[in-house]
Amino acid sequence: MLLRGNLHAHTTFSDGVRTPQALVAEYERLGYGFLAITDHFDHENLVHPDYEETIATLESELLIFRGIELSYQRLEQHVGRVHGDAETLYILNHPARYKLSVAETVERMHTIRRAGWPLDAVEVTDTGMYRPLYDTDEIPLVKVATDDAHRPPHFGRAWIEVDASRDRDAIIRAIRAGDFRVGFKD
Ligand SMILES: [Zn+2]
């Protein structure tokens, strides 16, 4: 089954403008199959105590992934962590926002992996806008597109389409294997 999904999105638990339920409704309207909600940790690397349970108990036609946008403090580099049931996906977020060169991106990948976050993927987008510099084999990570939804008009600007069963771990394994394609709104 071909499922369209977004791996990076924010709600009122951090700096998004939609509550989790309202954000889910946006992506249901867009016809998505899955959505990862990845609010930021605050500056003390904590989230609101209700966050995990709120996300875990959302009612939706979408397959919802619990997630978090971590900050690798020493570099202030954001890293998306998306939880399946057994699998976990780590994404090096928007190198374009930090104006990194390809070499710097690769260096960060190694540094963050050594620190214990096993990066799988890199965003070739910045808030849904394609940044082709990072869409290169020189960065040995799977290339994903996300819209990093905070507010309109971010919703639905970039996505991935995965041919997988409607199962969180199957989707993560397909992404890790590069078995998907990216898409962008015209
Ligand atoms: Zn973000």
Given a contact cutoff of 8 angstroms between Cβ atoms, the answer to whether 96 and 134 are in contact is yes
The whole-model pTM stands at 0.96
Each residue's pLDDT tens digit, 28-81: 999 999 999 999 876 555 678 899 999 999 999 999 999 999 999 889 999 999
| Segments forming the whole domain that contains residue 94 | 2-184
Nearest to 170 by CA among 65, 81, 69, 79: 65
Per-residue pLDDT at 47: 75
Ligand 1 centroid to Cα of residue 184, in Å, is: 18
Nearest to 5 by CA among 71, 79, 84, 69: 84
Ligand 1 centroid to Cα of residue 170, in Å, is: 24
Half-sphere exposure of 29 (CA within 13 A, CB side): 8
Ligand 1 centroid to Cα of residue 93, in Å, is: 8
Give how far Cα 181 sits from Cα of 34, 35, 97, 177, Å: 15, 16, 22, 11
Domain total of the chain = 1
CATH of the domain at 11: 3.20.20.140
Each residue's pLDDT tens digit, 79-126: 999 999 999 999 999 999 999 999 999 999 999 999 999 999 999 999
Per-residue pLDDT at 170: 98
